Amino acid sequence: MAEGVMTIAEQRDGEIRKISYELVSEGRRMADSLGQGVTALLLGADIKENASTLGHYGADKVLVADDPRLKTYTTDAYVSVIAELVKANDPAILLLGASVEGKDLAARLSARLETGMAQDCITFSLEDGNLVAIRPIYAGKAYAKVTFSDSTPQIATARPNVLTLNEPDTSRSAEIIDAQFTLDDSILKTKVVDVLRDESGKVDLTEADKIVSGGRGMKGPENYNILEELAEAIGASVGASRSAVDAGWRPHTDQVGQTGKVVSPTLYIACGISGAIQHLAGMSTSKVIVAINKDPDAPIFQRADYGIVEDLFKVVPSLTEEIKKIM
């Protein structure tokens, strides 16, 4: 009989990503309600020494699948190993992050395990022991309540930064287990031959707690320095709308929106962004939204918690100066 919660941890270059701890935290709350345990599954190469941190956030057990072929994510290898270990451990609920990797992985796992899956969820609850998920639909204009049939595991991906992160308890430890699995080279249709790394040192937008974004109202790439200064003052990352990216003002890695990155920071400051539905779909779950735009009828103001109707080239430098004084 399926029982317990399993989470799939993400790592990059051996470092466990924040979404992994968010999933374990949520899994702990679910498991406590069910009176069951939490198992985290960690894949990688020479990754075992980092597994204990998952226990600090609520994992009871950490299964470590350690293999050189798992160092970098590839769909074929990860789906094969995870599907085998899920079948062996038979969890009732399986949680993944709604990252690029997690979305790809969850869809394949759902097909491989012949069970249902809810993608890009923002809240979870339990009804009669079954998972219930809420997810945005129609570019964030509505929300769907998703329930599951009797098949297990019930698979869902969670949008980064929307789940409550437990305070790490370093006195709490998890049982670290070397996972037993088979991985046949004949099924590996792809391999990573090179990785182009972002050398900027910036926090990835999907994990950023604060974001300052600029749109067409920035008028050109040379003006983003004022956003960079504000971001540095408050410890934020810099994002951009699709129009700014399409114009070549910012790299695609900075794009926030339906065709870019979906973000949920604590603070999102939109500068010179009108608020097209495609952009709103990528940031509407931010906890606090501040809009700066000289057009009082800009759609962004309908979603903003705080709005400033003024020229951003006047407001942003003044705001940065005042923040620097306070900080």
3-state secondary structure 46-57: CCHHHCHHHHHC
For tokens 């969820």, name the residue: 121
Q: Who's near 218: CB < 8 A, 6+ residues apart? A: 224, 227, 244, 249, 271, 272, 312
Q: What angle do CA 257, 261, 266 make, to 5 degrees?
A: 90
Are 33 and 62 contained in the same domain?
A: yes
Are 161 and 39 contained in the same domain?
A: yes
Query: Does residue 195 lie in a domain region?
Result: no
Burial class (CB in 10 A: 0-12, 13-18, 19+), 222: exposed
φ, ψ of residue 291 in degrees (nearest 5) = -115, 135
Q: How far apart are CA 2 and CA 71, in angstroms?
A: 30
Contact assessment for residue 183 and residue 58, using Cβ atoms and an 8 Å cutoff:
no
Are 231 and 294 contained in the same domain?
A: yes
**What CATH number does residue 258 fall under?**
3.40.50.1220
Global pTM reads 0.88
* Total of domains in the chain: 2
Q: Please give the torsion angle defined by the CA atoms of residues 66, 67, 72 and 76, in that order, rounded to the nearest 10 degrees.
A: -110
| pLDDT number for residue 111 | 95
| 233 three-state secondary structure | helix
> 165-184 pLDDT, tens per residue?
999 999 999 999 999 999 99
> 55-100 pLDDT, tens per residue?
999 999 999 999 999 999 999 999 999 999 999 999 999 999 999 8
Q: What angle do CA 45, 46, 50 make, to 5 degrees?
A: 110
